[in-house]
């Protein structure tokens, strides 16, 4: 009779162990790529794409929080944030009230910030530089773009007209969210097509900060990974 509970505990322990290992960074990258470049652009096709895109984003967030299971306070905080995101996103399917949009963006922002911390800690920990850690660094880059995208969405919701957005990109909140993903990645990579522009002075400051991060992050990251690899090789001699 006691075998079933023990098997469930063992399965849960294996799941939690997986998310604290480096290979979880590869899974994280796959989930983010699917969410950003496949499912989110297809949300205009219907609710099914919206639901799957949201589920993948929530799974990526939950994966990051599971990596903090040893810290009880952060575990409860992560559970609270994910529950908040689920609640507001579920409510958004039945209405588009302003408070729902702001609540969804706010809870998603906090969850992404916590996830950034988790991935950053795993990528920069001591030890050999593996392919999983390199993929984790790419996932971290995408998370930065997503964080700024939701920041832009929050500011646009609080101060309508903060961005000059073409009429084709306006409309449903889903389309607006996809627009900010696009704008954030274009800004982070300093491509700057100019089809969407920041009008509000505070938003312009955020755009400049993101552009600077986009320039400095690859250089600092490469230097850090090279340093870690050299230290690992010296330790093997």
According to the model, what pLDDT value does residue 128 have? 77
pLDDT tens track for 155-202: 888 888 889 888 655 544 444 668 899 999 999 998 888 888 999 999
Mean pLDDT of the chain: 76
Domain 17-236: give its CATH architecture: Orthogonal Bundle (1.10)
According to the model, what pLDDT value does residue 48 have? 67
pLDDT, average across residues 50-67: 69
Long-range CB pairs of 229-232 (<8 Å, 24+ gap) are 229/128, 229/129, 231/126, 232/127, 232/128, 232/129
pLDDT tens track for 184-195: 999 999 888 888
198: three-class secondary structure by DSSP = strand
Its pTM stands at 0.79
pLDDT at position 119 over 70 = yes
Residue of 54, 57, 56, 82 whose CA lies nearest to 68:
82
% of residues, the chain, pLDDT over 90: 17
Q: Which residues pair with 198 in a beta bridge?
A: 163
Asked if residues 54 and 89 have their Cβ atoms less than 8 Å apart, the reply is yes
């Amino acid at each position: 009779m006691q075998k079933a509970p023990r098997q469930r505990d063992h399965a849960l322990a294996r799941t939690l162990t997986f998310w604290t290992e480096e290979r979880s960074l590869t899974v994280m990258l796959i989930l983010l790529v699917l969410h950003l470049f496949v499912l989110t652009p297809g949300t205009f096709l219907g609710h099914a794409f919206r639901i799957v895109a949201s589920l993948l984003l929530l799974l990526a967030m939950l994966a990051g929080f599971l990596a903090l299971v040893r810290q009880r306070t952060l575990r409860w905080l992560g559970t609270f944030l994910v529950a908040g995101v689920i609640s507001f996103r579920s409510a958004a399917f039945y209405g588009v009230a302003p408070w729902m949009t702001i609540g969804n963006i706010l809870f998603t922002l906090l969850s992404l910030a916590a996830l950034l911390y988790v991935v950053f800690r795993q990528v920069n920990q001591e030890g050999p530089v593996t392919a999983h850690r390199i993929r984790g660094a790419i996932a971290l880059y995408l998370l930065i773009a997503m964080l700024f995208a939701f920041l832009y969405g929050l500011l646009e919701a609080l101060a309508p007209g903060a961005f000059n957005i073409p009429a084709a990109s306006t409309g449903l909140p889903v389309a607006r969210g996809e627009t900010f993903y696009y704008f954030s990645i274009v800004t982070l990579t300093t491509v700057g097509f100019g089809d969407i522009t920041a009008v509000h002075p505070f938003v312009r400051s955020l755009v400049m900060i993101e552009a600077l991060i986009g320039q400095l992050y690859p250089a600092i990251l490469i230097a850090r990974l090279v340093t870690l690899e050299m230290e690992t090789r010296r330790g093997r001699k």
